[in-house]
């Protein structure tokens, strides 16, 4: 009997110890799910704790949570407590993943959950519940990429218009881009869509409202199948539920959803080899050639402007203009290139030109030969050639282009003639006058006199105001430092700003400006400009680590830009980032 009593006591103590033991567990809604499904993860504990740290959820995106719930009850005099942290996860891709350990501190001790394995498979068919908010959202909102042409020629303009279609049944509260398409192997230009209004339209035969989010003009730079990456949005919206309020109106449920326009494949055709001119430089579109001279008669050592321009619609920024060929007696300087191009949904339109400065050295007549330009016409799908008319430049006065100066002297001597005077040689001198009386014009007591007299009295208050503003501005040490830094950034980046739109010239000027700034700021030579040296010197001067990283990333962009296609929007972003970084370094450096 005594042994049994001792056993009962021991069992009672063990059960009491177990009941008082802390429990912290992780539970999931399913161990296997499709890539289009959602996973629920609950972290449960039987005692309250602090400093809860969830796992990093590698391979998943957190679409909901953490939601916290607490249950506290008394049954037969015993307290039952449960606290839960809930997360809703969306898989990023297929594969096997692990929900790693979560931690929490309870009564001064750290507790951890057990890792859980999850398998993500291909997309599965989800039962369609017409009252499910996620199903309603998926059926009533669509992001569409409309491509104008899927089989263009090389360097032929196509457009991509992204439209967000929303059913009248739901309301979109907010949206933001989480993945912006990068147009590899295309020259691209975004068209401003600010101020776009919601329009009414149809999608698959049903009434929808839609908003144009983005318009982009693309010129393919490679042949074959090219991929246009999708635009992806994260949307916050309200959808109707199956519940009603006391007035009978449907209650709305808030839902978050990610929508994508999907990949688009473009099959780019090569330009035909048949009939391709030898001097073809890649011009595709519809163009006109114009060659003009600012002067056709002038004297030696005077200058004229010879302008070669191409006008029309097509890939105006993506080919080179034909060069001119002039006689050796005409001195020609490097041309000034100008572009007057606008881009809309039909592509580039406008003109590009090269303006040459020409200076003749000797008198005579000089023919400027005809200039030819070839392009591929998309309407007839054939090559066309344009030719200019011959231009003759007549140099009236100047030295002759003779082989010897002795012949010139002989000719001059033989042509000398005696000067003949006649009696009327001074007839142009006027000997009679026709004077008239002039009324005196006095300055005293005129309007100008009184204005000049009162002007100093008006200037004195203005001078006092300007002096006070100048004094307050000089006292603003921080503001002056910011203005000085911004002025310094504009000084070094002036040449880069002038080259915006010309990729190579812009990034060469930008890199040179950054190097010149470093040499002036850090007192180092060009041969010392290494990444490690720059980083160590900026650290010594107290520049923040993030600013140093931004500066290094700009230098890397300058190196990579020469080998990758870059649009003018990216150039503007790099320029703004450079100006901001130079200003920050100048403000932070000691």
Contact criterion met (CB below 8 Å) for 378 and 286: yes
> What percent of the chain lies above the pLDDT cut of 70?
80
Residue whose C-alpha is closest to residue 304's, from 365, 357, 355, 362: 357
Q: In 165-237, where does DSSP find H-type helix?
A: none
Q: What is the pLDDT of residues 360-371, one digit of tens each?
A: 888 888 898 999
Residue partners of 92: CB distance under 8 A and separation at least 6: 59, 60, 61
Cα–Cα distance measured from residue 428 to residue 437, given in angstroms and rounded to the nearest whole number: 26
Evaluated on CA atoms 499, 502, 508, 510, the torsion sign reads positive
How far, in Å, are 165, 168, 174, 211, 497 from residue 196 at the CA level?
14, 18, 16, 7, 30
Q: What is the pLDDT of residues 134-183, one digit of tens each?
A: 777 778 889 999 999 999 999 999 999 999 999 888 888 888 888 888 88
Query: Do 92 and 191 fall into the same domain?
Result: no
Cα–Cα distance measured from residue 445 to residue 206, given in angstroms and rounded to the nearest whole number: 84
Structure-model confidence comparison of residues 134 and 564, the more confident one: 134
Query: Do 208 and 106 fall into the same domain?
Result: no
Query: Do 551 and 450 fall into the same domain?
Result: no
CATH of the domain at 564: 1.20.120
What is the reported pTM? Answer: 0.49
Residue tagged 């329009």 (tokens): 199
Three-state DSSP class for residue 566: coil
Query: Do 164 and 104 fall into the same domain?
Result: no
Residue 416 domain-assigned?
no
Cα–Cα distance measured from residue 228 to residue 182, given in angstroms and rounded to the nearest whole number: 8
Three-state DSSP class for residue 419: coil
pLDDT of the residue at 575 = 81
Cα–Cα distance measured from residue 541 to residue 343, given in angstroms and rounded to the nearest whole number: 45
Query: Do 140 and 107 fall into the same domain?
Result: no
Q: What is the pLDDT of residues 393-407, one digit of tens each?
A: 998 887 887 643 333
Three-state DSSP class for residue 199: strand
Residue partners of 535: CB distance under 8 A and separation at least 6: 548, 552
pLDDT of the residue at 429 = 54
Residue 3 is given by DSSP the state H
Residue 558 domain-assigned?
yes
Domain boundary among 368, 395, 422: 395
Cα–Cα distance measured from residue 72 to residue 203, given in angstroms and rounded to the nearest whole number: 51
pLDDT of the residue at 419 = 44
Which of 46-55, 341-350, 383-392 is the least confident region?
46-55
Three-state DSSP class for residue 158: strand
Query: Do 262 and 359 fall into the same domain?
Result: no
DSSP track, 462-502: HHHHHHHHHHHHHH-HHHHHHHHHHHHHHHHTHHHHHTTT-
Residue 424 domain-assigned?
no
Range of the domain at 318: 289-395
Domain boundary among 472, 487, 517: 472
CATH of the domain at 297: 2.60.40
CATH of the domain at 53: 2.60.40.740
Query: Do 465 and 482 fall into the same domain?
Result: no
Residue 544 domain-assigned?
yes
Query: Do 453 and 483 fall into the same domain?
Result: no
Cα–Cα distance measured from residue 477 to residue 372, given in angstroms and rounded to the nearest whole number: 62
Query: Do 105 and 215 fall into the same domain?
Result: no
Where does the pLDDT of residue 492 fall: very low under 50, low under 70, confident under 90, or very high at 90 and above? low
Residue 410 domain-assigned?
no
Q: What is the pLDDT of residues 271-297, one digit of tens each?
A: 999 999 998 999 999 999 999 999 888
Residue 7 domain-assigned?
no
- What is the total count of domains within the chain? 5
Residue 407 domain-assigned?
no
Domain boundary among 367, 395, 423: 395
Evaluated on CA atoms 469, 471, 476, 481, the torsion sign reads positive
Residue partners of 565: CB distance under 8 A and separation at least 6: 183, 184, 185, 186, 187, 188, 221
* Ranges 103-107, 348-352, 486-490, most confident: 348-352
Residue 404 domain-assigned?
no
- Distance between the two ends of the chain, CA-based, in angstroms? 87
CA angle 573, 578, 579 (to 5 degrees): 100
Query: Do 504 and 520 fall into the same domain?
Result: yes
Cα–Cα distance measured from residue 337 to residue 334, given in angstroms and rounded to the nearest whole number: 9
Query: Do 386 and 500 fall into the same domain?
Result: no
Query: Do 264 and 137 fall into the same domain?
Result: yes
pLDDT at 302 over 70: yes
């Amino acid at each position: 009997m005594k042994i049994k009593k001792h056993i009962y006591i021991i069992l009672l103590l063990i059960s009491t110890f177990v009941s008082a033991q802390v429990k912290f567990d992780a539970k999931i809604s399913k161990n296997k799910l499709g890539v289009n499904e959602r996973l629920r993860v609950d972290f449960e504990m039987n005692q309250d704790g602090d400093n809860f740290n969830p796992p990093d959820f590698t391979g998943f995106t957190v679409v909901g949570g953490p939601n916290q719930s607490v249950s506290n009850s008394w049954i037969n005099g015993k307290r039952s407590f449960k606290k839960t942290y809930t997360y809703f996860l969306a898989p990023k891709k297929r594969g096997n993943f692990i929900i790693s350990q979560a931690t929490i501190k309870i009564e001064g001790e750290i507790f951890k959950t057990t890792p859980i394995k999850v398998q993500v498979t291909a997309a599965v068919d989800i039962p369609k519940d017409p009252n499910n908010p996620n199903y309603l959202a998926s059926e009533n909102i669509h992001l569409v990429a409309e491509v104008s042409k899927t089989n263009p020629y090389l360097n032929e303009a196509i457009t991509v218009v992204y439209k967000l279609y929303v059913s009248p049944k739901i309301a979109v509260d907010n949206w933001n881009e989480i993945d912006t398409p990068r147009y590899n192997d295309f020259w691209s230009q975004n068209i401003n869509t600010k101020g776009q209004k919601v329009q009414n339209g149809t999608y698959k035969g049903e009434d929808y409202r839609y908003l144009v989010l983005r318009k982009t003009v693309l010129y393919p730079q490679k042949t074959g199948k090219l991929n246009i990456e999708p635009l992806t949005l994260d949307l916050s919206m309200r959808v109707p539920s199956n519940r009603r309020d006391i007035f009978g109106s449907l209650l709305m449920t808030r839902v978050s959803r990610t929508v994508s326009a999907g990949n688009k494949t473009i099959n780019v055709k090569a330009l035909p080899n048949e009939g391709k001119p030898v001097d073809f430089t890649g011009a595709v579109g519809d163009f006109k050639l114009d060659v003009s001279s600012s002067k056709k008669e002038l004297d030696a050592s005077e200058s004229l402007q010879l302008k070669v321009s191409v006008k029309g619609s097509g890939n105006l920024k993506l080919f080179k203009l034909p060069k001119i060929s002039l006689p050796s007696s005409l001195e020609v300087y490097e041309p000034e290139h100008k572009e007057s191009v606008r881009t809309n949904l039909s592509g580039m339109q406008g003109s590009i030109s090269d303006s040459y400065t020409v200076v003749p050295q000797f008198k005579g007549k000089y023919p400027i030969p005809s200039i030819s330009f070839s392009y591929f016409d998309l309407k007839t799908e054939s090559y066309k050639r344009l030719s200019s008319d011959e231009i003759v430049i007549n140099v009236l006065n100047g030295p002759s282009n003779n082989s010897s100066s002795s012949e010139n002297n002989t000719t001059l001597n033989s042509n000398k003639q005696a000067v003949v005077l006649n009696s009327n040689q001074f007839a142009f001198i006027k000997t009679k006058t026709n004077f008239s009386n002039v009324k005196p014009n006095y300055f005293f007591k005129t309007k100008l006199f009184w204005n000049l007299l009162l002007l100093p009295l008006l200037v004195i208050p203005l001078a006092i105001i300007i002096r006070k503003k100048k004094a307050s501005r000089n006292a603003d040490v921080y503001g002056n430092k910011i203005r000085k830094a911004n002025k310094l950034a504009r000084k070094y980046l002036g040449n880069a700003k002038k080259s915006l739109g010309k990729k190579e010239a812009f990034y060469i000027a930008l890199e040179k400006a950054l190097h010149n700034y470093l040499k002036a700021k850090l007192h180092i030579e060009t041969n010392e400009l290494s990444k490690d040296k720059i980083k160590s010197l900026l650290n010594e001067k107290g520049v923040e680590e993030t600013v140093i990283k931004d500066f290094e990333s700009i230098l890397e962009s300058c190196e990579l830009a020469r080998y990758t296609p870059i649009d003018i929007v990216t150039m503007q972003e790099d320029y703004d980032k450079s100006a901001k970084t130079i200003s920050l370094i100048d403000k932070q450096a000691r």
